[in-house]
Amino acid sequence: MGYTCITVKDLQKKLGVGRNKAYEIIKMPGCPSVDFKGSIRIVEELFDEWVSTMFPKPAPAPKLIRRR
């Protein structure tokens, strides 16, 4: 299975952030990006996985029991 690589501009659209913030995110440790002679690409599937580890889904709220 191959991976999908996106550009910094694609990342901006995906996250709804500006150029500076996109580059700030790419420079974070662990961000799955590759620099090909000045052309930065982000591996989309690995990026999504990386982000999900940073913001895990919250546990479901406990059910409330009504007493009468």
pLDDT at 1: 64
pLDDT value of residue 32: 94
Question: Helix H segments across the chain?
Answer: 8-15, 19-26, 44-54
Question: Smallest Cα–Cα separation from 44: which of 53, 28, 31, 27?
Answer: 31
In the prediction, which pLDDT does 18 show?
96
Entry pTM: 0.74
From the list 36, 34, 44, 41, the residue with the least C-alpha distance to 1 is 44
Tell me: the pLDDT tens digits for 27-66?
Answer: 999 999 999 888 999 999 999 999 988 877 777 888 888 8
CATH node for 5-54: 1.10.10
Query: What is the pLDDT at residue 3?
Result: 87
Structural contact between residues 5 and 43, judged by C-beta atoms closer than 8 angstroms? yes
